[in-house]
A and B are shown apart, each in its own frame.
Chain A
Amino acid sequence: MMQLYKMAWRNLGRNRRRSFLSALALGMGLALLLLMAAVVAGEMRDAMESSIRLQSGHLQVRAKSYDEGKTSLAWEDLIENPAAVAAQIATLPAVRVATPRLFANGIVAAGDESVGVRIIGIDPPSEANAPFREGLVNGEFLSADDRGGILMGQTLANKLSLKAGDTINLLVNTSNGDVDEQPFVIRGIYSTHTPGYDQSTVLMPLAKAQAITQAENHASTVFVLLRDREQTDAIVAALQTSSYQINTWVQMNELLVETEQLSNAYMWLLYLIVLAITATVIVNALIMAVFERTREIGILLAMGMRGSRIMAMFFAESSLLAVGGIAMGLVLGGLLVTYATKYGFYIGSYGMTGILIGERIYAYLTLSDTITLTITALVITLVAALYPAMLAARMEPVEALHGGKGA
């Protein structure tokens, strides 16, 4: 075996530039795929984290009849006395925070412009509102007893040319099906760095939201964050006896989960295409080597080397090229991913309905993706060597000794 690799190594050294470029092709292909895998994984991870942080939480406890799609404000669809329900849920050790929230649809009117928004009534002191509190870019945060203030997303504020202290009119659906309109002062402007969220969400204190929507002492949901999302199933089991519907982050982010599965499938297709293209470079190099070394193959056959060993020799060369290419790919890919993990790529407000994509995508390379891509690159390179190796192994000694030109 050592002899085989020694010969393979020296054979590759005969045409160093060709060998280097072949390995580099594989390396660049692998580096590119590592970067793409990391970007997609990072995008999906960030989207999921944003959704959990801003939208779904790890769990939401709602009334049995609540339909998220309708944003119902009818009392029978809401949780009564939500603060008490939240306090009870918060006693579970795995729960980090549980806070009531009320959702309503409305329209912000400022000057001649009006924009449809989602209004969320929040309990201002709750730790669950940290993304908004920490994301304040202008003005101040809400207080629980504020009856005339709102927080507005930066994207929306920019769109309407508004700043903290400005007054807007808010039209809100109420629980009895009417529409109420009131002026509100923008207390602060927040940025979650998720343009899709920031352009359509207005926050106000829960008490005020309950008052304007006439929901009284009701809330749409109890928003729950856990200490560890792996404990979701355990908490669901613990809450199962209650008379509410329990929605997990997986259920509430079904679209994102499905999108991730779909993108993973496409990524696999892309992996195979890119690696197949790079493998053709290696096939080409090995086929050239077979033709250049036809007479030597004849000599080895004359000495009694079996075809299988000739094949093994070319597989050894291919595997060395693969190892070299993979090493280059891991270094190059590692550098690219490190950059993209640290600085990310700015994509602005690009996004998909129902999925919160940040304005900047940060790469996130998983060990699993690295191992999978490395093994796939190795296997594809070895499979690619099959044809040239068989070409060499099937040579007739007499023809090979004459340089393949026939006896």
Chain B
Amino acid sequence: MQVTKTEGVTRIYRVGQVETQALRGVSLSIESGEFTALVGPSGSGKTTLLQLIGCLDQPTSGRVFITGKDVSKLNRNQRADMRRGTIGFIFQFFALIPTLTAYENVEMPLILIGEKAAERRARVTQLLKSVGLTDRAQHRPDQLSGGEQQRVAVARALATNPALILADEPTANLDTPNGQQVMETMTRLNQETGVTFVFATHDPRVIKYARRIITLRDGRIVENADAEKANPGV
């Protein structure tokens, strides 16, 4: 099943009189269960593409589909509704709410979709267990290491059983062992739950986990292939 698709997507940012074309006609399709990396140098358009697929932003032209629905022209609230429950995010910075415990951070998306308390409790407990943080449940982000925080973010992204999880440079702020642990957690959850992961990175140590690699340069896809073909020997 197709989770997301883009058709000739462009995104132009205008700051004053200056126009920057971040994406120049990107078309791609991602199927359910994929573990796909968007790679490319800084400024190639990886983050912009993730933002469009994630309904955080709207394309200047072209169309974006999420689970078959055209989301290109949705208004703010419709995009928020689409994100809630359908898309999970993992950001480069450890994007947790600092006043909430690890447990409460994971619980937040479930509250937003109106899940009942008992079901929330069971789901959060299971997710924290799956990322190996059961004993850190009542800790606040400032009491967790960077790797632990990012694993809480992974658990939170998975909370609502979304169709798609988008990760923007998920290991960029982690040291190698923690980065590896986070990627292994994501890989395992992809295999166990079948949830689709698309992550942007330019770190070769992360790219090696991908089963498909989409390479962007100057806002265009320059390569789109299975990992073995795109990056033989990695």
- A residues in contact (CB < 8 Å) with B: 3, 7, 10-11, 13-14, 295-296, 299-307, 309, 396-398, 401, 406-407
Can you name 14 A-B pairs with beta carbons within 8 Å? A7-B97, A13-B99, A299-B97, A300-B108, A301-B80, A303-B84, A303-B89, A304-B81, A304-B84, A305-B80, A306-B81, A397-B57, A406-B15, A407-B51
**What would 9 more interface pairs be, CB under 8 Å, given A306-B80, A407-B48?**
A7-B100, A299-B95, A303-B84, A304-B83, A305-B80, A305-B84, A306-B81, A398-B51, A401-B56
Q: Does B91 contact A (CB under 8 A)?
A: yes
Chain B residue contacts of A309, Cβ below 8 A: 112
Chain A residue contacts of B95, Cβ below 8 A: 295, 299, 302, 401
Q: Which of B13, B51, B77, B91 contacts A306 (CB 8 A)?
A: B77
| Total cross-chain contacts (CB, 8 A) | 69
Q: Does B68 contact A (CB under 8 A)?
A: no
Per-position binary interface string of chain B over residues 85-108, scored 1 when its CB falls under 8 Å from any chain A CB and 0 otherwise: 101010101011111100000001
Chain B residue contacts of A398, Cβ below 8 A: 51, 56-57
Chain B residue contacts of A303, Cβ below 8 A: 83-84, 89, 108-109, 112, 156
Q: Are A304 and B57 in contact, CB atoms less than 8 angstroms apart?
A: no
Chain A residue contacts of B99, Cβ below 8 A: 7, 10-11, 13-14
Q: Are A3 and B111 in contact, CB atoms less than 8 angstroms apart?
A: yes
Q: Does B54 contact A (CB under 8 A)?
A: yes
Docked complex Cα distance between A397 and B84 (Å) = 13
Docked complex Cα distance between A296 and B111 (Å) = 17
Q: What distance in Å separates the Cβ of B54 from its nearest Cβ neighbour in chain A?
A: 7
* Interface members, chain B 164-200 (any A CB < 8 Å): none
Docked complex Cα distance between A406 and B51 (Å) = 13
Q: Which residue of A lies closest to B54 (CB)?
A: A302
Q: Are B100 and A407 in contact, CB atoms less than 8 angstroms apart?
A: no
Q: Are B100 and A10 in contact, CB atoms less than 8 angstroms apart?
A: yes
Q: Does B76 contact A (CB under 8 A)?
A: yes
Pairs A-B, 4 closest by C-beta atoms: A304-B84, A10-B99, A304-B83, A397-B56
Q: What distance in Å separates the Cβ of B171 from its nearest Cβ neighbour in chain A?
A: 18
Q: Which residue of A lies closest to B96 (CB)?
A: A299
Docked complex Cα distance between A99 and B111 (Å) = 76
Q: Which residue of B lies closest to A304 (CB)?
A: B84
Chain B residue contacts of A396, Cβ below 8 A: 57
Docked complex Cα distance between A300 and B80 (Å) = 10
Chain A residue contacts of B87, Cβ below 8 A: 304
Chain B residue contacts of A10, Cβ below 8 A: 99-100
Q: Which residue of B lies closest to A308 (CB)?
A: B77
- Which of B54, B81, B98, B99 is the most central at the interface, judged by chain A CB atoms within 10 Å of its CB? B99
Docked complex Cα distance between A299 and B109 (Å) = 11
Docked complex Cα distance between A309 and B93 (Å) = 24
Chain A residue contacts of B54, Cβ below 8 A: 302
Q: Which of A13, A14, A304, A406 contacts B80 (CB 8 A)?
A: A304
Chain A residue contacts of B57, Cβ below 8 A: 396-398, 407
Q: Which residue of A lies closest to B82 (CB)?
A: A304
Q: Which residue of A lies closest to B85 (CB)?
A: A304
Q: Which residue of B lies closest to A307 (CB)?
A: B76
Q: Are A401 and B91 in contact, CB atoms less than 8 angstroms apart?
A: yes
Chain B residue contacts of A296, Cβ below 8 A: 97-98
- Which of B56, B57, B76, B82 is the most central at the interface, judged by chain A CB atoms within 10 Å of its CB? B56
Q: With contacts A7-B100, A10-B99, A296-B98 known, is A302 near B81, CB below 8 A?
A: no
Q: Which residue of B lies closest to A394 (CB)?
A: B76
Per-position binary interface string of chain B over residues 107-123, scored 1 when its CB falls under 8 Å from any chain A CB and 0 otherwise: 01101110000000000
Q: What distance in Å separates the Cβ of A4 from its nearest Cβ neighbour in chain B?
A: 9
Chain B residue contacts of A13, Cβ below 8 A: 99
Chain B residue contacts of A406, Cβ below 8 A: 15
Docked complex Cα distance between A354 and B127 (Å) = 79
Q: What distance in Å separates the Cβ of B76 from its nearest Cβ neighbour in chain A?
A: 7
Per-position binary interface string of chain B over residues 31-70, scored 1 when its CB falls under 8 Å from any chain A CB and 0 otherwise: 0000000000000000010010010110000000000000
Q: What distance in Å separates the Cβ of B153 from its nearest Cβ neighbour in chain A?
A: 9
Q: What distance in Å separates the Cβ of B75 from its nearest Cβ neighbour in chain A?
A: 11
Chain A residue contacts of B51, Cβ below 8 A: 398, 407
Chain A residue contacts of B112, Cβ below 8 A: 303-305, 309
Docked complex Cα distance between A373 and B69 (Å) = 52
- Which of A301, A303, A307, A397 is the most central at the interface, judged by chain B CB atoms within 10 Å of its CB? A303
Q: Are B77 and A307 in contact, CB atoms less than 8 angstroms apart?
A: yes
Docked complex Cα distance between A406 and B13 (Å) = 10
Docked complex Cα distance between A358 and B57 (Å) = 70
Q: Which residue of B lies closest to A400 (CB)?
A: B56
Q: What distance in Å separates the Cβ of B231 from its nearest Cβ neighbour in chain A?
A: 29
